[in-house]
Amino acid sequence: MQDNRLYTAQFLLVAFMSTSAFKVIMLPKYLCSVAGNMAWIVMLIMSLVELGFLTLIYRIAKCGGVCGESCPRWLQKVVGVGVVISSTIKFGVLGSEFCQYVSTQVFDHVTWLYVALATVPIVGYIASKGLNALGRASQILFWVIALTVVFNIFFARLEGDRYNLLPLVDWKSAALSIDKHLVWFSDFTPLVFVSLVEQKNRNKLVIVFTILLVALFPTLIAVVFVYVYGNGGVWIDNAIGRLTEFHLLATIMGKADLLTIVSWFIMAIVKLSLIFYAIVQGTALIIGRRKYTNIIVVVLGIVFIVFGLGSVTKYYAFATSWIRYVVATIEYGLPVVLAVATKGGKSEEERRFDSHLCHDAHRV
C-alpha cells in the first residue's frame, strides 16, 4: 500500500487538523456543563495525554504502521476490528455535530439529512485518494487556517473577565468531565495506518511549532471560551463561531466570519476523511481485500444516514454512555500494543539502507 506514506510535516499537520476540528465546536460547552470554569483545565490535561500518545503513533508510523512488515498478521486483524468499531462510533458522533453546525449556522432552511447525504460521498472520495493526498492537501490548506488565526488575533473583539478562569478548586468535577467525554479525545488511532517517510532537510522549527499546535490549540480555544463566557458557557453552542466573530452585532444579526467557517470546514473534512479512511482500511484488514471496500463503506454510510443517524442530543447521550469505555479502551490500548509489537521494526531510512545493501550484495 503506497497511498499511506507521509512526510513528518504532513503527518503532524494531519494530526493537528484531526485533533482540533471537533474540540472547538460543541466540546467546550459539554465540558462546562460538568466542570464549569475548570473546562480549560480538562482540555489542557487531555491535550497533554494526547500529545504523549502522538509520540507512540509517530514511532509506529516510523516502523511502517500497522500494515508494515513488523506487525504480525493476526495483530493487523485485531487492529482492523478495533479501528472499525471506534472510528464508526466517532464518525457518527462527530458527523452529527458537523451536520448540526452546517444546518444551523451556515445555511438556512437546510436539514441535517441533506447535509449528511452531501458530505458522505465527498468524504469517501477524498479518503479513496489515500493519506498521502490528504497530507499534501493539509500542507496547502494549513495556510488558510494560519491566516484566519492571524486575522482573529488582530481583529477579534473579546470582552471577558480573567476571574472567570478562577478559582481552580473543583477537581472532582474536572475528573468527571474527563470520564464523561472520552469519545471526543484520543483522535490519533486512524494514523496507525501511516508509513512515515523521513525528510533529509526537514525544518525542525516547523516540526516543533506544529507539535505545540497539536497540544495547545484546543486548550487556547477553551481558555478564551471560559474567559468570555465563564460558567455560562454551558448555554453556548459552536464555540469557535461565537469567539471569532469580527463584529459585535454578529450575535444579534447573525453575521458570520467567513474565514473561520472555511478554516473549520477544512479541518472537519480532513478529520472525517481520516476517520473514513480508517474504517475502509480496517475493513480491508478484516476481510483481506481492499478492492471495492471504499464503495461498500460509502453505500453503508448512506444507508446508515437515511435510517439510523440521529440528532446531536441523541448522539451525545450515546457517546456519554458505557460505549465511551469501549472507544477509550480501543483508542488508548491499540497504540500501546502496536508500539510494543513494532518495537523491533525498522524505520523507512533503515529499510532503504537494507535494500541498498541487498542490492549491492547481488551485484557482487
Per the CB < 8 A criterion, the answer to whether 193 and 335 are in contact is no
Going by pLDDT thresholds of 50, 70 and 90, the confidence category of residue 251 is very low
Residue 326 has pLDDT above 50, yes or no: yes
Per the CB < 8 A criterion, the answer to whether 276 and 30 are in contact is no
Q: Which residue has the cell 447521550?
A: 317
pLDDT 10s digits, 122-150: 888 888 888 888 989 888 888 888 888 88
N-term to C-term CA, the chain? 31
pLDDT at 252: 47
Higher per-residue pLDDT: 114 or 343? 114
The model's pTM: 0.86
CA-to-CA distance for 306 and 304, rounded, in angstroms? Answer: 6
Map out the domains of the chain with their CATH numbers. Answer: 5-363 (1.20.1740)
**Quick one: DSSP state of residue 200?**
T
How far, CA to CA in Å, does 100 sit from each of 93, 104, 114?
A: 11, 6, 11
Residue 59 has pLDDT above 60, yes or no: yes
Phi, psi (deg, nearest 5) at residue 103:
-75, -15
Residue 355 has pLDDT above 50, yes or no: no
**Those residues with Cβ within 8 angstroms of residue 258's Cβ, 6 or more apart along the chain or in another chain:** none
pLDDT 10s digits, 89-131: 898 889 888 888 888 777 777 777 788 888 888 888 888 888 8
**Overall average pLDDT of the 237-243 stretch:** 75
**Quick one: DSSP state of residue 234?**
G
Report cis status (omega within 30 of 0) of the bond before 121.
no
Q: What percent of the chain has pLDDT over 90?
A: 16
CA-to-CA distance for 223 and 39, rounded, in angstroms? Answer: 8
